[in-house]
Structure 1
Amino acid sequence: MNIGLMDIVGRLSYNCDIMFRVIDIRVENGKKTVILYGEDFRLAADAPYEDLVRMDAVKVQRLTEECRSLEEQSFRLFRQDVDLLLQKQEYEVTEGYSKSKSYFQMPGRVLHLDGDSNYLKKCLTLYEKVGVPVYGIHCNEREMSSKIGGLIETYRPDILVVTGHDAYSKSKGEPGDINAYRHSWHFGQTVKEARKKVPHLDQLVIFAGACQSHFESLIQAGANFASSPSRVNIHALDPVYIVSKISFTPFMERINVWDVLRNTLTGDKGLGGIETKGVLRTGMPFNKKY
């Protein structure tokens, strides 16, 4: 069976547990190596051509339906959290609903840099569904650090997402060795450059990382939230749930880390962070005439 670019494949050595897209096929010394990107997980991988099999339509549909079901469940729980946050804010603004006051709310603005254009589209769709103002930029992971300074000056975000693809390789070093990761070093450099522009952790909230990323180095670089504490895969939409919760939390409130992680698809094995303030601001009056 011939395998071509953009085919959906599985790795036989892993029992085809994850759907991958074929991004590139390279030939060295007569051997074919295939570059793969996870279809639903932010994982990049290399695989021998002979280890791959094109997934049949039935299995693709089954895995897709399972993933969509988890996404819908996560979204419902997240939506409940956001609604409670907004109801609480409305209660406080109207002094326990005792006074009728017109007001408006300004959720935190997000700048989302993504190394995968398909994932970026999925994330932007979810941001829009939730109601988070966002600027999405597709950017190769290796180029993010050189571009982030200008992007921050242009868009002046409250929240920054630095994500794409990553992977840990045992053959390249121990889990503590940053050189054993595909893009963790690039994510870390991007965070450091962002912190040169906005040093304060509560003036620019940063999420950084992808599947199996070097969590500790990203936090040390200046990220508020990052992946992956247990070096596991994270879902493509996990960054959206984290930063959306921050976007809708009032700036006078501290965010409990577990409250942010609990409704993600990956949980605390794949995501972690530090205590952070929200960025939602409420103003008044709201003039409906304009």
Structure 2
Amino acid sequence: MNILITGGSGFIGRYLIDALKDSHQITVLTRSPAATAKVLPASCDLIASLDDIKDFSRFDAVINLAGEPIADKRWTPLQKQRICHSRWDITAQLVNRINGCASPPDVFLSGSAIGYYGRQGDRTVTEEEHQVHDEFTHQLCAKWERLAEDVNTEKTRLCLLRTGVVLEKDEGALARMALPFRFGLGGKIGNGKQYLSWIHIDDMVSAILFLLHHDACNGAFNMTAPEPVTNKTFSESLATALHRPCLFTVPAFSMKLIMGEAADMILTGQKVLPKKLEEAGFTFKYTMPQQALDAIYQ
């Protein structure tokens, strides 16, 4: 397949491209081709603008993973704008190019996040059975998905990737979560009862490939492992994997002081199940956090 990927130099994108590079032709949209060339395989074709693509008809698939990291900085009004428009603008541009070409790509996989649901407490959430809590993450993801849904689905199959916390040792949220444990200072956050919906990076990549190649799959998919756990349970599993104690509690107020409004993502939680993925026949390699963390830190 000839595949266009946005966000290819990011955490998930690099692992995905590594899985695709030997059997597919990859074009990566990147703001900095020179820097991206240092982290991606030489076989990737790097472009700085969609205007560099004269005819979208040459692509069989488009995978949209672009976006400003959501939890790296405090959510000032300006940072919220960056987070939103880094996702909304490229999604709208891709849909416009897909719909405007004579022979559009067969499939469009577009990023989203379980932030779509907002805070959920201990309520079990699936793609079809859920309520939403109207807050920033929901507003961000809801518009992100609506823009993707403007693609002509009579010609291009659409899958929305509602992604949870992706686990890998040196990347993403886990690298930050593990740091206090490495110094023997780890423990639960707040009361520890909030749910964490997670997925191992290997399963994340495998699930994207599954959706890419299974023509019957369309709509929103929860990209999370089938066993979400409380923050307390996850913290204990992380401590075990790192051979460190889990003795402390990070007070909720300190998280709010450090992260501001963004701390709500960590302190409230979501219990999200991948119902549609499993019903479609996808099999997870890592179903329990202890299993996933032991593999990561082995």
Give the TM-score, by structure 1 length. 0.38
Asked which structure has the greater CA Rg, the reply is 1
